[in-house]
Structure 1
Amino acid sequence: MAILHTCLNVADAERSVEWYEQNLSFEHSWGFESGDTTNLYVADENGTELQLSETEGQEPGEAGDLWDHLAVGVEDVDAAFEAIDHHGVVKEPGDQPAAGARTAFVKDPDGHVVELIEPLED
């Protein structure tokens, strides 16, 4: 078994695609419409996809109600944290020795929490 994608309910799928492209270097991979719902997909460099689902007349639920966070590996947490046009800081960059990583948490345009992870040097 393998995880194929994670679906996020968003207010504006095109805005979300742009945010993931500009801030995390994801690429728009494909999309489709089903009734009142637009589904756009973005993929990371390994091909792991996020489905960004926008349903006309509906806003996503409260952040954190349906899921916790999306973890994204970065080369430099501090540089990524400074460069990303985030919509809220959840946790500033800091070392997590027990996890062997430096992390930071930010919000995307719809309030989804994105964890930035950089492995700590040995």
Structure 2
Amino acid sequence: MSSTTTNTATYKFNHTMFRIKDPKVSLPFYENVLGMEMFKESPGGDFTNYFLAFPAGFEDKANASKEEKAKMQLNREGVLELCHNWGTESDASFKGYASGNDEPGRGFGHIAITVDDLEAACKRFDDLGVKFKKRPEEGKMRHTAFIYDPDGYWVEIIGQTKL
């Protein structure tokens, strides 16, 4: 063990990464359906990573350029990284990635976002043709919905409660 000390009170949960089949499908879902902003694109040798977050998380830097926001990435929370391995979008034999909710590979469950009005958000998702896993009126958890992203990952939708 190193003798260097670190303060865990300064740690932040920065991001989660999903592998995606086609950025031309996934990016519009996260940007136009969920309202996230892609603030950084990082190509590698045979893949591209896209970093998205809700604009509100940039706080007083809302008018910053993409480059300025990219520099802020490691100092904020709630970032979603989408990793596109080149060629999957045109490979007819590609069966997609495991979402973590089915066998084999059960483990990862979902990400969650809060919305101002659950009923209105669900209506908007219906209007946009988003596929639901669970609607608020179904099952025991009446305060949540689950939708699918283009790759079959679950996104939990939770209505904000008024205090």
**TM-score where L is the length of structure 2:** 0.64
CA distance in 2, matches of 1:121, 1:50: 26
Q: How many residues align?
A: 118
Any stretches of 5+ residues in structure 2 without a counterpart? 1-10, 59-77, 89-93
Q: Which has the higher strand share?
A: 1
Deviation at 1:106, TM superposition (A): 0.5
Using the TM superposition, give the Cα deviation of residue 13 of structure 1 relative to its aligned residue in structure 2, in angstroms: 2.1
| Matched residue, 2:71 | none
Partner of 1:91: 134
> Is 1:11 aligned with 2:21?
yes
1:46-97 Cα offsets, whole Å, 9 max, x none, are: 2521101010244542222352101001011111112123542111014748
1:61 equivalenced with 2:102 (yes/no): no
Contact 2:146 2:156 in 1 (8 A): yes
More helix by share: 2
Larger Rg over CA atoms? 2
| Contact 1:86–1:108 (CA under 8 A) maintained in structure 2 | no
SS in 1 for 2:150: coil
Compute the TM-score of the two structures, normalised by the length of structure 1: 0.83
Aligned equivalents of 1:63, 1:88: Cα separation in 2: 15
1:114 matched to 2:155: yes
Unaligned runs of 5+ in 1: none
Indicate the RMSD between aligned Cα atoms, in angstroms.
Answer: 2.2
Q: Which of 25, 30, 49 is the aligned partner of 2:40?
A: 30
